[in-house]
Amino acid sequence: MIDIKFLRENPEIVRQNIRNKFQDSKLPLVDEVIELDRLSRAAKGEADDLRASRNKLSKQIGMLMAQGKKDEAEQVKQQVAANAQRLAELEALEAEYQEKILRIMMVIPNIIDPSVPIGRDDSENVEVQRYGDPVVPDFEIPYHTDIMERFDGIDLDAARDVAGNGFYYLMGDIARLHSAVISYARDFMIDRGFTYCVPPFMIRSNVVTGVMSFAEMDAMMYKIEGEDLYLIGTSEHSMIGKFIDKILPVETLPRTLTSYSPCFRKEKGAHGIEERGVYRIHQFEKQEMIVVCKPEESKMWFDKLWQNTVDLFRSLDIPVRTLECCSGDLADLKVKSVDVEAWSPRQKKYFEVGSCSNLGDAQARRLKIRVSDNKQKYFAHTLNNTVVAPPRMLIAFLENNLEADGSVRIPEVLRPYMGGKEKLVPKK
């Protein structure tokens, strides 16, 4: 959410930003919020004058009563009563205007970074760099669930009977591999100085609307019936919410946290749920990283965060690339975003396994997360990035470490988490 003062003083910048995101239907909102802001400030100005007048008239009444001028004092009291009625009307109007302004401002997209490429959707994202050499072996790579089934490692049919499409049972070595990757990712981030955290897996509506756009909320979040609670779609939401209404001393920044959580997503929209595979599902687990920092440090932390994901995947012998997300692919709160994609030898292309985002002060403004340096208070900047999210990681891992005999190689860094195993041997 952008600053109303910035919009008031730079309406054309806000309009151009909306055009850059190909959301022209939102252009009228700029004039609408400017008019509401004018009315709100006018109501506030009149209300402030009436409050000042009330103080003067109160003193005048006291003086008149002391002089025995009761009739004149009564006339002034009537004026005070009339002013009080008008003041109540103005305060109600001001609250109404502010509510409307907030509702609109939460729909107007955040100002994107000048470096973001302009494009309509993810098809126009720009490749930045590749890490590792993508290899296509001289043997066929099966579909990922077929690989898992060779190890008796997945049961989609039973999960469908229990919960429907978009769920799975992981079993045996595949389940252990899943947990090993999460544990390795946790320790990887701790070694890089991040504080480990297991957050609440449900959050209240004021946190949800503080961390994401309404469109994202509708497409992702599961609401708990009869409760002001939502299941988290990513632990980033719960982690950023940890700082709601907080004033953070500048010397305590940055706050760097890495968190484990299950994630629950409707996956509503064009993508849908993949019935046979586990690429897009309703429930999965994830290791996440977030940073709350001073505004001048957010660009530096942005580059550090996506590099962490690249380094982790490369340590597992998985080639990756980074993509700069174009303007039309950015969610409304994001200033800048980079996707990390892993190489799929089966598909002979890359696919998304993580996303790193700088949200500027948008989340902090909504959640009132401020920094104090003893001279002034200002909004912090927040960033988030996926460390690793099985089962997408499992897809990349299995395909890139599959051997011709059907076994799966375990990279050295992961072996301590797999009981020292150097490879997984299929059961069929």
In angstroms, the CA 159 to CA 276 distance is 12
Q: Which of 65-74, 100-109, 327-336, 390-399 has the lowest mean pLDDT?
A: 65-74
Ramachandran area for residue 419 (φ above 0: left; ψ -120 to 50: alpha; else beta): left
Domain check: are 187 and 79 in the same one? no
Domain check: are 64 and 194 in the same one? no
Domain check: are 202 and 277 in the same one? yes
Domain check: are 236 and 380 in the same one? yes
Q: What is the pLDDT confidence band of residue 1, given thresholds at 50, 70 and 90? A: confident
What's the pLDDT at 39?
A: 96
Three-state SS for 119-147 is: CCCHHHCEEEEEECCCCCCCCCCCCHHHH
% of the chain beyond a pLDDT of 90: 82
In angstroms, the CA 65 to CA 117 distance is 72
Q: Is the distance from CB of 131 to CB of 309 less than 8 angstroms?
A: no
- Give the angle subtended at the CA of 310 by the CAs of 149 and 113, to the nearest 5°: 125
CA distance readout (Å), 172 to 139, 148, 421: 25, 10, 14
To the nearest 10°, report the CA torsion of 240, 316, 346, 422.
-130
Domain check: are 301 and 391 in the same one? yes
CATH number at residue 249: 3.30.930.10
The average confidence (pLDDT) of the chain is 93
pLDDT digits (tens, 9 = 90+) for 405-425: 999 999 999 999 999 999 999
Domain check: are 25 and 100 in the same one? yes
Whether 117 maps to a domain, the answer reads: no
10 Å CB burial of residue 284 (0-12, 13-18, 19+) is buried
End position of a domain, from candidates 75, 105, 135: 105
Q: What is the pLDDT confidence band of residue 64, given thresholds at 50, 70 and 90? A: low
- Structural domain count of the chain: 2
pTM of the model: 0.90
Whether 200 maps to a domain, the answer reads: yes
Q: The dihedral of CA 78, 81, 83, 89: what is its sign?
A: negative
Q: Is the distance from CB of 386 to CB of 263 less than 8 angstroms?
A: no
- What is the average pLDDT across 81-85? 80
- What is the average pLDDT across 29-40? 97
Residue (of 86, 99, 97, 3) closest to 48 by Cα position? 86
Domain check: are 289 and 329 in the same one? yes
Most confident among 51-55, 78-82, 246-250 (mean pLDDT): 246-250
Q: What is the pLDDT confidence band of residue 83, given thresholds at 50, 70 and 90? A: confident
Q: What is the domain range of residue 101? A: 4-105
Residue (of 334, 330, 325) closest to 363 by Cα position? 334
Q: What is the pLDDT confidence band of residue 53, given thresholds at 50, 70 and 90? A: confident
pLDDT digits (tens, 9 = 90+) for 269-300: 556 566 678 888 999 999 999 999 999 999 99
Radius of gyration over every alpha carbon of the chain, rounded to an integer in angstroms: 28
Residue (of 259, 260, 265, 262) closest to 223 by Cα position? 265
End position of a domain, from candidates 64, 80, 105: 105
What's the pLDDT at 190?
A: 98
Can you name the residues that pair with 372 across neighbouring β-strands?
A: 249, 377
Residue 55 has pLDDT above 90, yes or no: no
Can you name the residues that pair with 358 across neighbouring β-strands?
A: 336, 383
- The two three-digit tokens of residue 81, written as one number: 């009563």
Q: What is the pLDDT confidence band of residue 108, given thresholds at 50, 70 and 90? A: very high
- 244's enclosing H/E stretch is none
Residue 328 has pLDDT above 90, yes or no: yes
- The two three-digit tokens of residue 201, written as one number: 């897996």
Q: Which of 10-19, 46-55, 176-185 has the lowest mean pLDDT?
A: 46-55
CATH number at residue 90: 1.10.287.40
Domain check: are 84 and 147 in the same one? no
Domain check: are 93 and 143 in the same one? no
Domain check: are 126 and 73 in the same one? no
What's the pLDDT at 351?
A: 95
Domain check: are 156 and 298 in the same one? yes
Domain check: are 355 and 414 in the same one? yes
In angstroms, how far is CA 32 from the centroid of its own chain? 27
End position of a domain, from candidates 51, 76, 105: 105
What's the pLDDT at 374?
A: 86
